[in-house]
Amino acid sequence: MDKRRDKIRTKTTEKNLKNISIDNIDDFLDEDYSHEKKAVSRGQNRNKKSLKRDITLEEGLITGIMTNNMFKVRLQGEEVTALMGGRLKQFMFNQRRVMAIGDKVKIDTAQGSPYRIEELIERRNKLMRYSEGSYQKEILIASNIDYAIITVSCVQPMLKLGMIDRFIIQCGIDNIEPVICVNKVDLVEDIEYYREMLAYYVTSGYKTYFVSATTGQGISELKDLIKDRISVFSGQSGVGKSSVINALMPSLDLKVGEISGFNEKGRHTTTNSELLEWEFGGFLIDTPGIKTLALKRDNVSLVYNKFPGFDRYSCYFNNCTHTHEENCGVLDAVERGEIPQKVYESYLRVIESVNYE
């Protein structure tokens, strides 16, 4: 009997889906919800508002993903475990969506534990990456974030511009402000060398911090920026993401890799993304290290526009690839030395990888 009802319900959901613009998920879920309520409370007042009084929906924040259906949620200041409600599950499945850390949800608190997530509140933004290999699976790093903190280290592992470039491009596509955090300055004698390497990015307007998790250098400046904001720390394994977070708030005491850990391939100290709260206000997401940040292959034209700093130059052709065209502002800037040769070479590698990866 129950099964049949579920079937009918699924059918209704599908029927509704056809008429709904997927962009406006909030509206859809509200409407869908009221449909279900109507089904169970026939004869009652069918006004949407009055039906909603039967339940208590509270806003929660997804802080961890336990399985594809079970989540850690911050609800009324406490961390609880919650399951995705049946309708929402169906909706997410139909839309090929997955929940992300940072998602805001509505939870029916009237029913108590186990809590059920009834709605996903529309995302302000989401940071994506794509798996390597021929089939590019979408991976959602986090949603609703203010800063993507691209963490690199001067050495151990060595600083490579490619990772920064790819991250900035992805942030440009996803509409998230990138911040560059260069860690382990205590390990190098000539910090000027690294400042010069990053000077182009600073001139292009990207916030850049030189820090040491070990000595605490630069940490308070970074703290001033991320206070009261939501930041996600991302980057290669071993660059010191968790260490920098611990330096910002020692009581978090996140697990940090062993000294020699960084060069052992495939070794990650942080294995799960997690959303935590700063004691000085705001939130952070620590993520496991990644080897490279693959961009979506069919996005090559986005790379022409979103490559760091290129928006400061204009080209004669709208779809300029900045490789051979006449009147190309980027090529002129390379010639003048305004765009360093190393940065331009990194650009060529990125577009090549997006074409043939």
Ligand X SMILES: Nc1nc2c(ncn2[C@@H]2O[C@H](COP(=O)(O)OP(=O)(O)OP(=O)(O)O)[C@@H](O)[C@H]2O)c(=O)[nH]1
Which residues contribute to the site for Zn ion (CB under 5 A)?
Answer: 315, 320, 322, 328, 330
Task: Find the part of the chain contacting Mg ion (CB under 5 A) among 101-109, 160-168, 268-276, 300-308.
Answer: 268-276
Min separation Cβ 352 and Mg ion, Å? 30
Min separation Cβ 150 and Mg ion, Å? 15
Residue 287 interacts with Mg ion (CB under 5 A): yes or no = no
The position carrying tokens 């390990």 is 187
Q: Are 166 and 292 in contact (CB under 8 A)?
A: yes
The correct pick among 269, 290, 322, 331 for binding Mg ion (CB under 5 A) is 269
List of residues 6+ apart from 110 with CB closer than 8 A: 55, 56
Residues 191-250 that bind Mg ion (CB under 5 A): 241-242
Instruction: List the single partner that 213 binds among ligand X, Mg ion, Zn ion, none, CB under 5 to 8 Å by kind.
Output: ligand X
Instruction: List the single partner that 72 binds among ligand X, Zn ion, Mg ion, none, CB under 5 to 8 Å by kind.
Output: none
Binding mask 181-220 for ligand X (x = CB under 6 A): --xx-xx------------------------xxx------
Min separation Cβ 67 and ligand X, Å? 22
Q: At what angle do helices 341-356 and 161-174 cross, to 10 degrees?
A: 60
When the beta carbons of 198 and 239 are compared against ligand X, the nearer one is 239
Report phi then psi at 208, rounded to 5: -130, 130
Report phi then psi at 125, rounded to 5: -165, 170
Q: Which of 181, 111, 100, 110 is nearest to 147 (CA)?
A: 181
CA-to-CA distance for 103 and 109, rounded, in angstroms?
Answer: 18
SS3 string of 13-62? HHHHHHCCCCCCHHHHHHHHHHHHHHHHCCCCCCCHHHHHCCCCEEEEEE
Min separation Cβ 137 and ligand X, Å? 20
When the beta carbons of 25 and 226 are compared against ligand X, the nearer one is 226
Residue 262 interacts with ligand X (CB under 6 A): yes or no = yes
Structure tokens at 158: 């060595």
CA-to-CA distance for 53 and 304, rounded, in angstroms?
Answer: 51
- Which residue minimizes CB distance to ligand X? 289
Task: Find the part of the chain contacting ligand X (CB under 6 A) among 36-44, 83-91, 121-129, 251-259.
Answer: 251-259
Instruction: List the single partner that 240 binds among ligand X, Zn ion, Mg ion, none, CB under 5 to 8 Å by kind.
Output: ligand X
Min separation Cβ 269 and ligand X, Å? 4
Output 81-85 pairs: Cβ under 8 A, ≥24 positions apart: 81/113, 81/114, 81/115, 82/107, 82/114, 82/115, 82/116, 82/117, 83/114, 83/115, 83/116, 83/117, 84/116, 84/117, 85/116, 85/117, 85/118
Binding mask 149-188 for ligand X (x = CB under 6 A): ----------------------------------xx-xx-
CA-to-CA distance for 299 and 74, rounded, in angstroms?
Answer: 35
Residues in touch with Mg ion (CB under 5 A): 241-242, 269-270
Residues in touch with ligand X (CB under 6 A): 183-184, 186-187, 212-214, 237-243, 256-259, 261-262, 268-270, 288-289
